[in-house]
Amino acid sequence: MPALACLALFAAPSFAAAPLNLDAYRGHVVYLDFWASWCGPCKQSFPWMQSMADAYAHRGLCIVAVDLDRDKSDADRFLSQFHPGFDIVFDPHGSLAERYRLRGMPTSMLIDRRGKVRFTHIGFRPTDAQAYEDQVKELLAEK
């Protein structure tokens, strides 16, 4: 089940254009993920992000996935494979990617309830999924 508090920040469908105001997520733990349709590891991370949203949305986790495709139709094709139940932001000019100084794809940041980036991940490997989930649980446990 999607995080209703998170999805309420965007009109359905949950696909918004950049810029992204993370202040709107204050009080939630945010998993901010930068992805693109051409990124192989992104195809592995999307099912994991959905499982995290399903497992932890009720505890305050919001997943926000920022697409860097220049053509929205590429993103639409990618998303049609996964049907994510979390927020998607379209950043075709890479302004958000530049602001967050990405060094690889995908890049994700785990942001605590106060808005501070606590963990950064470059790339995604299924073998790292448990460590990432442990980080999510650590931040969710903080009040």
For 38-60, write each residue's pLDDT tens digit: 999 999 999 999 999 999 999 99
Enumerate domains of the chain plus CATH numbers: 37-141 (3.40.30.10)
**pTM of the entire structure?**
0.88
Neighbours of 108 (CB within 10 A): 22
pLDDT band at 61 (very low <50, low <70, confident <90, very high): very high
Question: For residue 10, is pLDDT > 70?
Answer: no
Question: For residue 3, is pLDDT > 50?
Answer: no
Question: For residue 6, is pLDDT > 70?
Answer: no
Question: For residue 14, is pLDDT > 60?
Answer: no
Question: For residue 8, is pLDDT > 50?
Answer: no
Question: For residue 9, is pLDDT > 60?
Answer: no
Mean pLDDT of the chain: 87
Output the pLDDT for position 100.
84
Q: Tell the burial category of 103 from Cβ atoms under 10 Å away from its Cβ (0-12, 13-18, 19+).
A: exposed
Distance CA 139, CA 29 (A): 7
Question: For residue 11, is pLDDT > 70?
Answer: no
Distance CA 117, CA 76 (A): 28
For 75-123, write each residue's pLDDT tens digit: 999 999 999 999 899 988 888 888 888 888 999 999 999 999 999 999 9
Distance CA 55, CA 50 (A): 9
